[in-house]
Structure 1
Amino acid sequence: MTSDKIQTWESIIPEVKSWKESGEKVVFTNGCFDILHLGHADYLEKSRSLGDRLIVGVNTDASVRKLKGPERPVNPEYARARLLAALEFVDAVILFDEDTPFELISHVIPDILVKGDDYKIENIVGADIVIKHGGEVKTINLVDGFSTTGIIGKIKTHNK
Protein backbone atom coordinates (compact mmCIF):
# COMPACT_ATOMS: atom_id res chain seq x y z
CA MET A 1 0.00 0.00 0.00
CA THR A 2 1.23 3.48 -0.74
CA SER A 3 0.24 4.50 2.79
CA ASP A 4 3.31 2.47 3.87
CA LYS A 5 5.40 5.28 2.41
CA ILE A 6 4.29 7.51 5.29
CA GLN A 7 7.21 7.17 7.67
CA THR A 8 7.99 8.26 11.20
CA TRP A 9 11.18 10.04 12.19
CA GLU A 10 12.37 6.74 13.67
CA SER A 11 11.47 4.49 10.74
CA ILE A 12 13.06 6.66 8.05
CA ILE A 13 16.62 6.32 9.38
CA PRO A 14 17.13 2.61 8.57
CA GLU A 15 15.42 3.22 5.22
CA VAL A 16 17.81 6.07 4.34
CA LYS A 17 20.79 4.02 5.56
CA SER A 18 19.77 1.11 3.33
CA TRP A 19 19.31 3.35 0.29
CA LYS A 20 22.67 5.05 0.80
CA GLU A 21 24.46 1.71 1.37
CA SER A 22 23.01 0.59 -1.99
CA GLY A 23 24.62 3.64 -3.60
CA GLU A 24 21.34 5.49 -4.09
CA LYS A 25 21.19 9.29 -3.86
CA VAL A 26 18.54 10.52 -1.43
CA VAL A 27 16.71 13.75 -2.30
CA PHE A 28 14.71 15.73 0.27
CA THR A 29 12.20 18.52 -0.14
CA ASN A 30 9.37 19.84 1.98
CA GLY A 31 6.21 21.91 2.00
CA CYS A 32 2.60 22.18 3.10
CA PHE A 33 1.13 20.62 -0.08
CA ASP A 34 -2.32 21.73 1.05
CA ILE A 35 -4.19 21.35 -2.24
CA LEU A 36 -2.16 19.12 -4.54
CA HIS A 37 -1.88 20.67 -8.01
CA LEU A 38 0.17 20.55 -11.24
CA GLY A 39 2.86 22.79 -9.78
CA HIS A 40 3.41 20.31 -6.93
CA ALA A 41 3.49 17.27 -9.23
CA ASP A 42 5.96 18.94 -11.61
CA TYR A 43 8.19 20.12 -8.76
CA LEU A 44 8.26 16.73 -7.03
CA GLU A 45 8.88 14.82 -10.24
CA LYS A 46 11.79 17.14 -11.11
CA SER A 47 13.12 16.78 -7.56
CA ARG A 48 13.10 12.99 -7.83
CA SER A 49 14.95 13.14 -11.15
CA LEU A 50 17.95 14.59 -9.28
CA GLY A 51 18.48 11.35 -7.36
CA ASP A 52 17.22 7.84 -6.76
CA ARG A 53 14.90 8.30 -3.77
CA LEU A 54 12.65 11.22 -2.83
CA ILE A 55 11.66 12.03 0.75
CA VAL A 56 9.00 14.70 1.21
CA GLY A 57 8.68 16.50 4.54
CA VAL A 58 5.13 17.72 5.12
CA ASN A 59 4.11 20.39 7.63
CA THR A 60 1.59 19.15 10.20
CA ASP A 61 -1.74 20.95 10.54
CA ALA A 62 -0.46 22.95 13.53
CA SER A 63 2.64 23.99 11.59
CA VAL A 64 0.58 25.06 8.54
CA ARG A 65 -1.73 27.17 10.75
CA LYS A 66 1.29 28.96 12.21
CA LEU A 67 2.69 29.65 8.74
CA LYS A 68 -0.47 30.31 6.71
CA GLY A 69 -3.11 31.40 9.21
CA PRO A 70 -6.18 29.97 10.96
CA GLU A 71 -8.09 29.06 7.78
CA ARG A 72 -5.37 26.66 6.64
CA PRO A 73 -4.78 23.90 5.96
CA VAL A 74 -7.75 23.06 3.79
CA ASN A 75 -6.87 19.36 3.89
CA PRO A 76 -5.77 17.58 7.09
CA GLU A 77 -2.20 16.33 7.43
CA TYR A 78 -2.95 12.63 6.88
CA ALA A 79 -4.86 13.38 3.66
CA ARG A 80 -2.00 15.55 2.39
CA ALA A 81 0.59 12.90 3.31
CA ARG A 82 -1.48 10.09 1.77
CA LEU A 83 -1.91 11.91 -1.54
CA LEU A 84 1.82 12.57 -1.75
CA ALA A 85 2.57 8.93 -0.89
CA ALA A 86 0.36 7.85 -3.79
CA LEU A 87 2.66 9.58 -6.29
CA GLU A 88 4.97 7.02 -7.91
CA PHE A 89 8.02 9.30 -7.75
CA VAL A 90 7.70 9.87 -3.97
CA ASP A 91 9.46 7.21 -1.87
CA ALA A 92 8.72 8.46 1.64
CA VAL A 93 6.63 11.13 3.37
CA ILE A 94 7.35 12.40 6.87
CA LEU A 95 5.30 14.88 8.89
CA PHE A 96 7.08 17.58 10.85
CA ASP A 97 5.59 19.93 13.43
CA GLU A 98 8.22 22.66 13.53
CA ASP A 99 8.07 25.96 11.61
CA THR A 100 10.95 24.80 9.41
CA PRO A 101 12.28 21.37 8.40
CA PHE A 102 15.70 22.10 9.97
CA GLU A 103 15.47 19.31 12.59
CA LEU A 104 14.10 16.82 10.06
CA ILE A 105 16.87 17.61 7.56
CA SER A 106 19.42 17.22 10.38
CA HIS A 107 17.85 13.85 11.15
CA VAL A 108 17.71 12.54 7.56
CA ILE A 109 20.90 14.14 6.12
CA PRO A 110 19.89 13.84 2.46
CA ASP A 111 22.41 13.83 -0.39
CA ILE A 112 20.44 16.52 -2.21
CA LEU A 113 18.19 19.21 -0.71
CA VAL A 114 15.71 20.82 -3.10
CA LYS A 115 13.47 23.89 -3.00
CA GLY A 116 11.68 25.95 -5.64
CA ASP A 117 13.50 28.66 -7.55
CA ASP A 118 11.65 31.27 -5.51
CA TYR A 119 14.37 30.54 -2.90
CA LYS A 120 18.02 31.53 -3.03
CA ILE A 121 20.32 28.67 -2.00
CA GLU A 122 21.84 30.73 0.82
CA ASN A 123 18.32 31.16 2.31
CA ILE A 124 17.26 27.50 2.17
CA VAL A 125 16.78 26.03 5.64
CA GLY A 126 19.12 23.09 6.20
CA ALA A 127 21.44 23.92 3.30
CA ASP A 128 24.37 24.30 5.70
CA ILE A 129 23.82 20.81 7.15
CA VAL A 130 23.56 19.12 3.75
CA ILE A 131 26.65 20.90 2.40
CA LYS A 132 28.61 20.14 5.59
CA HIS A 133 27.94 16.42 4.99
CA GLY A 134 29.08 16.59 1.35
CA GLY A 135 25.65 16.97 -0.20
CA GLU A 136 24.20 19.42 -2.70
CA VAL A 137 21.48 22.06 -2.56
CA LYS A 138 19.50 22.75 -5.73
CA THR A 139 16.52 24.80 -6.85
CA ILE A 140 13.83 23.73 -9.31
CA ASN A 141 11.97 25.95 -11.75
CA LEU A 142 8.35 26.30 -10.66
CA VAL A 143 5.34 26.12 -12.98
CA ASP A 144 3.91 29.64 -13.37
CA GLY A 145 0.33 30.22 -12.31
CA PHE A 146 0.00 27.35 -9.84
CA SER A 147 -0.12 27.87 -6.08
CA THR A 148 -2.44 26.70 -3.36
CA THR A 149 -2.99 30.29 -2.22
CA GLY A 150 -3.91 31.25 -5.80
CA ILE A 151 -6.33 28.34 -6.12
CA ILE A 152 -8.01 29.24 -2.82
CA GLY A 153 -8.27 32.86 -4.00
CA LYS A 154 -9.99 31.77 -7.24
CA ILE A 155 -12.46 29.61 -5.32
CA LYS A 156 -13.31 32.50 -2.97
CA THR A 157 -13.75 34.91 -5.91
CA HIS A 158 -16.04 32.52 -7.79
CA ASN A 159 -18.18 31.89 -4.72
CA LYS A 160 -19.03 35.55 -4.04
Structure 2
Amino acid sequence: MNTSDKIYTLPQLQARLQEWRNQGQKVVFTNGCFDLLHLGHVDYLEKARQNGDKLVVGLNTDASISRIKGPSRPLQDEMSRARVMASLLFVDAVVLFDSDTPLQLIEALQPDVLVKGDDYTVEQIVGHEVVLARGGQVKTVPLVKGYSTSNIVKKIENQLKEE
Protein backbone atom coordinates (compact mmCIF):
# COMPACT_ATOMS: atom_id res chain seq x y z
CA MET A 1 0.00 0.00 0.00
CA ASN A 2 1.24 3.48 -0.90
CA THR A 3 0.76 6.32 1.56
CA SER A 4 -1.33 8.13 -1.06
CA ASP A 5 -3.84 5.23 -0.89
CA LYS A 6 -4.82 6.46 2.58
CA ILE A 7 -5.61 10.01 1.38
CA TYR A 8 -9.28 10.33 0.49
CA THR A 9 -11.72 12.84 -0.95
CA LEU A 10 -14.84 13.23 1.19
CA PRO A 11 -17.05 11.04 -1.06
CA GLN A 12 -14.36 8.33 -1.20
CA LEU A 13 -13.98 8.42 2.57
CA GLN A 14 -17.73 8.24 3.17
CA ALA A 15 -17.85 5.05 1.08
CA ARG A 16 -14.83 3.61 2.93
CA LEU A 17 -16.41 4.41 6.31
CA GLN A 18 -19.52 2.52 5.26
CA GLU A 19 -17.37 -0.53 4.45
CA TRP A 20 -15.65 -0.30 7.84
CA ARG A 21 -18.96 0.09 9.66
CA ASN A 22 -20.40 -2.90 7.81
CA GLN A 23 -17.45 -4.86 9.23
CA GLY A 24 -18.29 -3.67 12.75
CA GLN A 25 -15.32 -1.29 12.96
CA LYS A 26 -15.43 1.69 15.35
CA VAL A 27 -14.29 4.90 13.61
CA VAL A 28 -12.30 7.52 15.52
CA PHE A 29 -11.90 11.06 14.15
CA THR A 30 -9.47 13.80 15.02
CA ASN A 31 -8.20 16.83 13.17
CA GLY A 32 -5.42 19.35 13.01
CA CYS A 33 -2.79 21.13 10.95
CA PHE A 34 0.11 18.76 11.69
CA ASP A 35 2.52 21.18 10.03
CA LEU A 36 5.79 19.74 11.34
CA LEU A 37 5.33 16.21 12.64
CA HIS A 38 6.82 15.87 16.12
CA LEU A 39 6.67 13.57 19.14
CA GLY A 40 3.59 15.34 20.49
CA HIS A 41 1.69 14.60 17.27
CA VAL A 42 2.78 10.96 17.12
CA ASP A 43 1.86 10.34 20.76
CA TYR A 44 -1.50 12.11 20.36
CA LEU A 45 -2.49 10.21 17.21
CA GLU A 46 -1.40 6.89 18.67
CA LYS A 47 -3.56 7.52 21.76
CA ALA A 48 -6.48 8.67 19.61
CA ARG A 49 -6.38 5.41 17.62
CA GLN A 50 -6.60 3.39 20.84
CA ASN A 51 -10.22 4.58 21.14
CA GLY A 52 -11.41 2.54 18.16
CA ASP A 53 -10.55 0.37 15.18
CA LYS A 54 -9.90 2.99 12.48
CA LEU A 55 -8.43 6.49 12.82
CA VAL A 56 -9.47 9.21 10.40
CA VAL A 57 -7.45 12.44 10.44
CA GLY A 58 -9.08 15.62 9.15
CA LEU A 59 -6.24 17.79 7.88
CA ASN A 60 -6.55 21.55 7.45
CA THR A 61 -5.81 22.78 3.93
CA ASP A 62 -3.07 25.33 3.37
CA ALA A 63 -5.66 28.09 2.94
CA SER A 64 -7.41 27.30 6.23
CA ILE A 65 -4.10 27.19 8.13
CA SER A 66 -3.12 30.59 6.71
CA ARG A 67 -6.46 32.02 7.85
CA ILE A 68 -6.07 30.55 11.34
CA LYS A 69 -2.32 30.89 12.00
CA GLY A 70 -1.27 33.71 9.68
CA PRO A 71 0.38 34.14 6.27
CA SER A 72 3.69 32.53 7.27
CA ARG A 73 2.00 29.17 7.83
CA PRO A 74 1.83 26.39 6.89
CA LEU A 75 5.48 25.51 6.60
CA GLN A 76 4.72 22.41 4.52
CA ASP A 77 2.09 22.18 1.78
CA GLU A 78 -1.08 20.17 2.32
CA MET A 79 -0.12 17.19 0.16
CA SER A 80 3.22 16.87 1.95
CA ARG A 81 1.45 16.96 5.31
CA ALA A 82 -1.19 14.49 4.10
CA ARG A 83 1.46 12.00 2.90
CA VAL A 84 3.35 12.25 6.21
CA MET A 85 0.12 11.65 8.16
CA ALA A 86 -0.82 8.73 5.91
CA SER A 87 2.59 7.13 6.49
CA LEU A 88 1.81 6.57 10.17
CA LEU A 89 0.81 2.98 10.94
CA PHE A 90 -2.03 4.00 13.25
CA VAL A 91 -3.62 6.46 10.78
CA ASP A 92 -6.11 4.71 8.49
CA ALA A 93 -7.40 7.66 6.47
CA VAL A 94 -6.57 11.30 5.83
CA VAL A 95 -9.01 13.82 4.40
CA LEU A 96 -8.41 17.52 3.75
CA PHE A 97 -10.89 20.19 4.83
CA ASP A 98 -10.90 23.86 3.94
CA SER A 99 -13.13 25.27 6.70
CA ASP A 100 -11.79 27.01 9.78
CA THR A 101 -13.37 24.24 11.89
CA PRO A 102 -14.05 20.57 11.10
CA LEU A 103 -17.77 20.82 11.94
CA GLN A 104 -19.04 20.18 8.40
CA LEU A 105 -16.61 17.29 8.01
CA ILE A 106 -17.72 15.74 11.30
CA GLU A 107 -21.36 16.11 10.23
CA ALA A 108 -20.56 14.37 6.93
CA LEU A 109 -18.52 11.54 8.48
CA GLN A 110 -20.50 10.91 11.69
CA PRO A 111 -17.58 9.31 13.56
CA ASP A 112 -18.20 6.94 16.47
CA VAL A 113 -15.54 8.65 18.59
CA LEU A 114 -14.28 12.24 18.40
CA VAL A 115 -10.88 12.88 19.99
CA LYS A 116 -8.90 16.03 20.79
CA GLY A 117 -6.07 16.85 23.17
CA ASP A 118 -6.64 17.52 26.84
CA ASP A 119 -6.07 21.22 26.26
CA TYR A 120 -9.81 21.15 25.38
CA THR A 121 -12.81 20.23 27.48
CA VAL A 122 -15.46 18.05 25.82
CA GLU A 123 -17.76 21.10 25.59
CA GLN A 124 -15.07 23.07 23.70
CA ILE A 125 -14.51 20.39 21.06
CA VAL A 126 -16.04 21.38 17.74
CA GLY A 127 -18.59 18.75 16.68
CA HIS A 128 -19.13 17.24 20.12
CA GLU A 129 -22.90 17.80 19.85
CA VAL A 130 -23.04 15.95 16.52
CA VAL A 131 -21.21 12.89 17.83
CA LEU A 132 -23.01 12.75 21.18
CA ALA A 133 -26.43 13.17 19.50
CA ARG A 134 -25.99 9.89 17.63
CA GLY A 135 -24.72 8.00 20.66
CA GLY A 136 -21.01 8.40 19.98
CA GLN A 137 -18.25 9.34 22.39
CA VAL A 138 -16.14 12.48 22.74
CA LYS A 139 -12.80 12.00 24.47
CA THR A 140 -9.67 13.92 25.30
CA VAL A 141 -6.21 12.40 25.42
CA PRO A 142 -3.23 13.71 27.40
CA LEU A 143 -0.74 15.74 25.40
CA VAL A 144 3.03 15.48 25.72
CA LYS A 145 3.98 18.79 27.31
CA GLY A 146 6.39 21.12 25.56
CA TYR A 147 5.90 19.92 22.00
CA SER A 148 4.34 22.17 19.39
CA THR A 149 5.13 23.28 15.87
CA SER A 150 5.15 26.89 17.08
CA ASN A 151 7.82 26.05 19.68
CA ILE A 152 9.94 24.32 17.04
CA VAL A 153 9.65 27.34 14.73
CA LYS A 154 10.66 29.70 17.57
CA LYS A 155 13.67 27.52 18.40
CA ILE A 156 14.81 27.55 14.76
CA GLU A 157 14.32 31.32 14.53
CA ASN A 158 16.31 31.86 17.73
CA GLN A 159 19.17 29.68 16.48
CA LEU A 160 19.25 31.56 13.17
CA LYS A 161 19.49 34.89 15.06
CA GLU A 162 22.48 33.59 17.01
CA GLU A 163 24.42 32.67 13.85
Deviations 1:92-127 (A, max 9, x none): 000000000000000000000000000010010000
Q: Quote the Cα distance in structure 1 between the aligned partners of 2:154 and 2:94.
A: 27
Q: Work out whether 1:50 is the aligned partner of 2:64.
A: no
Q: Quote the Cα distance in structure 2 between the aligned partners of 1:138 and 1:101.
A: 16
Cα deviation for residue 2 of structure 1 reads 1.6
**Paired letter, 1:123:** Q
Cα deviation for residue 21 of structure 1 reads 1.3
Q: Where in structure 1 are there 5+ consecutive unaligned residues?
A: none
Aligned to 2:78: 77
Q: Quote the Cα distance in structure 2 between the aligned partners of 1:66 and 1:133.
A: 31
Q: Quote the Cα distance in structure 2 between the aligned partners of 1:86 and 1:66.
A: 27
Q: TM-score scaled by structure 1?
A: 0.99
Aligned to 1:114: 115
Matches within 5 A, 1:1-160: 1-160=2-161
Q: Quote the Cα distance in structure 2 between the aligned partners of 1:149 and 1:2.
A: 26
Identity of aligned residues (%): 57
Secondary structure in 2 matching 1:24: coil
Deviations 1:63-102 (A, max 9, x none): 0000100000000000000000000100000000000000
**Paired letter, 1:70:** P
Q: Quote the Cα distance in structure 2 between the aligned partners of 1:140 and 1:157.
A: 31
Deviations 1:2-25 (A, max 9, x none): 211000011001111111111110
Task: Give the root-mean-square deviation of aligned CA atoms.
Answer: 0.5
**Paired letter, 1:107:** A
Secondary structure in 1 matching 2:155: helix
Q: Quote the Cα distance in structure 2 between the aligned partners of 1:133 and 1:20.
A: 14
Q: Which of 92-101 and 16-25 deviates more? A: 16-25
Q: How many residues align?
A: 160
**Paired letter, 1:35:** L
**Paired letter, 1:137:** V
Secondary structure in 2 matching 1:62: helix
Q: Quote the Cα distance in structure 2 between the aligned partners of 1:11 and 1:28.
A: 16
Q: Quote the Cα distance in structure 2 between the aligned partners of 1:136 and 1:128.
A: 10
Q: Quote the Cα distance in structure 2 between the aligned partners of 1:124 and 1:47.
A: 14
